[in-house]
């Protein structure tokens, strides 16, 4: 049985430092998973950075390559986290503890702010490393994929009515 779309879909914002490596990768992965699970009416997402270093830039070539290898594309342009994000999005999922601290320092709304890896089945108590300097884009891809799957599993289990999960 398919349910009607909710009045307001749940917003998920992924945050890293510059919004060119980890968070746009998470955004593109999450969008793909949402589409594959036919949850587009229930969820929307975006990504942002705590810093203003790369505003307007495309994702890092390493991010684009990791996504391309998985058959995923993105046209995301980097942006900085804004105070409006705390009311537009219900969940703000950050990549590491430094991002968490910086995000909480400007938090001004009801959004739930958490480390994205809290949803990971394999790496729940760790930060997503920044591949900007060390090139670990494939490691980041695997970690973020696991966390996005975990978030979606929890969403379907706890936030979507049971009838939808059993359609």
What's the number of CA atoms in the CB half-sphere (13 Å) around residue 140?
29
Q: Active site residue: 21, 22, 79, 136, which one?
A: 22
130 is catalytic: yes
Q: Which two tokens stand for residue 88?
A: 């537009």
Q: Active site residue: 130, 136, 146, 148, which one?
A: 130
102 is catalytic: no
Contacts of residue 157, Cβ cutoff 8 Å, sequence gap at least 6 = 165
SS (H, E, C) 45-64: EEEEECCCCCCCCCCCHHHH
Report how far residue 41's alpha carbon sits from residue 98's, in angstroms, rounded to the nearest whole number.
32
22 is catalytic: yes
Known catalytic residues are 16, 22, 130
């Amino acid at each position: 049985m398919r349910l009607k779309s909710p009045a307001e879909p749940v917003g998920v914002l992924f945050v890293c430092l510059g919004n060119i490596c980890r968070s746009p990768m998470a955004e593109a992965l999450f969008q793909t998973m949402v589409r594959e699970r036919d949850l587009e009416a229930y969820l929307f997402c975006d990504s942002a950075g705590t810093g203003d270093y790369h505003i307007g830039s495309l994702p890092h070539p390493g991010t684009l390559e990791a996504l391309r290898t998985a058959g995923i594309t993105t046209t995301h342009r980097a942006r900085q986290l804004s105070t409006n994000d705390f009311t537009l999005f219900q969940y703000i999922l950050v990549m590491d503890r430094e991002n968490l601290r910086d995000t909480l320092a400007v938090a001004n709304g009801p959004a739930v702010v958490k480390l994205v890896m809290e949803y990971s089945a394999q790496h729940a108590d760790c930060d997503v490393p920044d591949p900007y300097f060390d090139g670990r884009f494939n490691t980041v891809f695997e970690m973020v994929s696991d966390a996005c799957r975990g978030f979606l599993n929890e969403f379907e289990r706890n936030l979507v009515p049971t009838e939808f999960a059993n359609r």
